[in-house]
């Protein structure tokens, strides 16, 4: 039994940010603002923030297939240190999570090796190849929380429409990557002055809108529950707004990188800043921050993509894309608080409550009966990020050397402390 007191309780559900107390018993939140009961261990939060643990929707773990980049154990450690209490794994493993057997293997290993909750998404099609439907029903029974082929966009709309229609029958959530596969082929930057100056193959932001529009057509046709993994361009927002207004069951996410960085950060070809989709213009970035503030974009995630040095130390065009993000998600999100003026409960809606609700998980709340998955953090603590101190096996973060504010002090999963900053030398 843990009694947290002297804490700024960040409650995304009620939108409040007040000093209060929280009692956690048997892995669940039992009471708010009650005196300390007998036998409870009191935790003085020192006036720092206590919020529901982050539900990170879309984490790549290298296991199985690329354990040298990230294993379930290191991903779990990184998550605990980053205040992420639920990792929602992407199915882009090798082999892909496209059968109940692979899903079960991953879940079993995850439970034994990681201190945080791990839930997995499954592939929508076998091998994520966009040709044959995966066993959506079996996978759902085995615990898959959503279905996606990741950033591989199928060109075969017939297969996709069947997958969606089938998923609709089971009430499954389908996650798409809005991007026109033809226009974006071979591109590693957003078209515009910067990409032209650097001589990089580039894709128009319009490709995202076109991909999104196509998916909306299929959603309207099939009635499936749909989530766009990353909406990163201002041009896509009116289409998203329209889809929601028309009553389609649609949500959208964005990676923290697209909210805090822009295309100019690539500078002289720094491959740690290569992402899929590529970083956008500053205008787009600001439009996205506003969309998060307006609630048009529902989910912020890390899009954690571990890459070893070998796959990054290459010319920009040839380098692998993606960045690790489990540990930097919270401090980077604090930039939205400090620099963009977004209130903490609103940020936590996107980090925790919305993804949990969308995936049918219990987290994201501080209400009675919610799981005792919590993060205690200091939103103002400044530090300079050193990538070699990250717990992830891969160290490919764009924030290396960046000045950041916001430190995780402790992380609790089901009422158990899984990380405490005191154990780590500063």
Partner 1 sequence: MTFTQDHLLGIEHLHPVEITTILDLAEQYVALNRSAEKHARALEGMTQINMFFENSTRTQASFELAGKRLGADVMNMSVAQSSVKKGETLIDTALTLNAMHPDLLVVRHGSSGAVDLLAQKVTCAVLNAGDGKHEHPTQALLDALTIRRTKGRLHRLTVAICGDIAHSRVARSNLILLGKMENRVRLVGPGTLMPKGVEEFGVEVFDDMKAGLEGADVVMMLRLQRERMDGGFVPSEREYFHRYGLDAEKLAYAKDDAIVMHPGPMNRGVEIDGAIADDINRSVIQEQVEMGVAVRMAAMDLLAQNLRRRRERDRLRRIADE
**Site residues, partner 1 (CB under 8 A):** 186, 191-202, 204, 268-269, 310, 313-318
Do residues 48 and 376 touch, judged by C-beta distance below 8 A? yes
In angstroms and rounded to an integer, the radius of gyration of the C-alpha atoms of the chain is: 20
CB of 247 to partner 1, least distance (A): 36
Nearer to partner 1, 94 or 318 (CB): 318
Nearer to partner 1, 266 or 376 (CB): 266
Long-range own/partner contacts, residues 197-205 (CB < 8 A, 24 or more apart): 198/266, 198/269, 198/316, 200/316, 200/317, 201/317, 202/278, 203/277, 203/278, 205/233, 205/234, 205/235, 205/236, 205/280, 205/281, 205/284
Nearer to partner 1, 39 or 315 (CB): 315
Do residues 353 and 380 touch, judged by C-beta distance below 8 A? no
CB of 66 to partner 1, least distance (A): 18
CB of 104 to partner 1, least distance (A): 37
Report the distance separating Cα 304 and Cα 77, nearest Å: 13
CB of 198 to partner 1, least distance (A): 6
Report the distance separating Cα 388 and Cα 45, nearest Å: 29
Hey, what are 116's tokens?
Answer: 């945080």
- Any bridge partners for residue 42, and if so which? 3
CB of 274 to partner 1, least distance (A): 11
Nearer to partner 1, 93 or 190 (CB): 190
Phi/psi at 239 (5° precision):
-65, -40
Could you give the C-alpha distances from 51 to 45, 98, 300, in angstroms and in order? 12, 34, 16
Cα-based angle 135, 139, 140 (whole degrees, multiple of 5):
120
Nearer to partner 1, 149 or 263 (CB): 263
Hey, what are 259's tokens?
Answer: 């909210």
CB of 318 to partner 1, least distance (A): 6
Nearer to partner 1, 193 or 242 (CB): 193
CB of 113 to partner 1, least distance (A): 32
E strands in 95-220: 117-120, 147-148, 173-176, 189-190, 202-203
Nearer to partner 1, 315 or 341 (CB): 315
């Amino acid at each position: 039994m843990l009694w947290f007191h002297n804490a700024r309780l960040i409650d995304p559900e009620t939108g409040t940010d007040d000093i209060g107390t929280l009692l956690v018993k048997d892995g669940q939140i039992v009471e708010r603002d009650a005196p300390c009961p007998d036998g409870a261990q009191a935790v003085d939060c020192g006036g720092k923030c206590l919020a529901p643990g982050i539900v990170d929707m879309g984490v790549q773990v290298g296991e199985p297939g690329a354990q040298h980049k990230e294993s379930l154990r290191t991903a779990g450690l990184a998550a605990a240190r980053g205040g992420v209490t639920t990792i929602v794994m992407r199915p882009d493993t090798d082999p892909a999570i496209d059968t109940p057997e692979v899903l079960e293997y991953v879940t079993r290993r995850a439970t034994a090796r990681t201190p945080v909750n791990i839930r997995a998404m499954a592939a929508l099609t076998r091998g994520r190849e966009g040709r044959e439907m995966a066993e959506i029903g079996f996978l759902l029974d085995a615990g898959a929380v959503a279905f996606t082929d990741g950033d591989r966009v199928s060109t075969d709309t017939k297969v996709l429409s069947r997958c969606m229609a089938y998923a609709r029958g089971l009430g499954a959530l389908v996650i798409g990557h809005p991007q026109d596969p033809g226009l974006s082929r071979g591109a590693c930057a957003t078209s515009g002055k910067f990409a032209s100056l650097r001589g990089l193959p580039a894709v128009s932001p319009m490709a995202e809108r076109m991909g999104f529009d196509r998916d909306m057509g299929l959603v309207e046709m099939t009635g499936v529950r749909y989530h766009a993994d990353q909406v990163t361009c201002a041009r896509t927002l009116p289409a998203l707004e329209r889809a929601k207004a028309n009553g389609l069951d649609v949500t959208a996410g964005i990676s923290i990188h697209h909210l805090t960085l822009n295309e100019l950060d690539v500078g002289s070809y720094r491959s740690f800043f290569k992402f899929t989709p590529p970083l956008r213009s500053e205008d787009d970035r600001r439009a996205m921050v506003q969309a998060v503030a307006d609630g048009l974009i529902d989910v912020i995630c890390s899009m954690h993509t571990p890459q070893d040095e070998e796959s990054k130390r290459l010319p920009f065009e040839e380098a692998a894309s993606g960045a690790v993000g489990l540990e930097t998600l919270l401090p980077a999100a604090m930039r939205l608080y400090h620099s963009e003026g977004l209130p903490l409960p609103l940020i936590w809606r996107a980090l925790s409550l919305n993804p949990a609700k969308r995936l049918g998980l219990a987290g994201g709340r501080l209400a009675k009966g919610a799981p005792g998955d919590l993060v205690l953090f200091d939103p103002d603590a400044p530090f300079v990020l050193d990538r070699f101190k990250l717990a992830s096996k891969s160290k490919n973060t764009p924030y290396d050397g960046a000045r950041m504010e916001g430190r995780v002090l402790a992380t609790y999963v089901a009422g158990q402390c899984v990380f405490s900053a005191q154990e780590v030398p500063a």
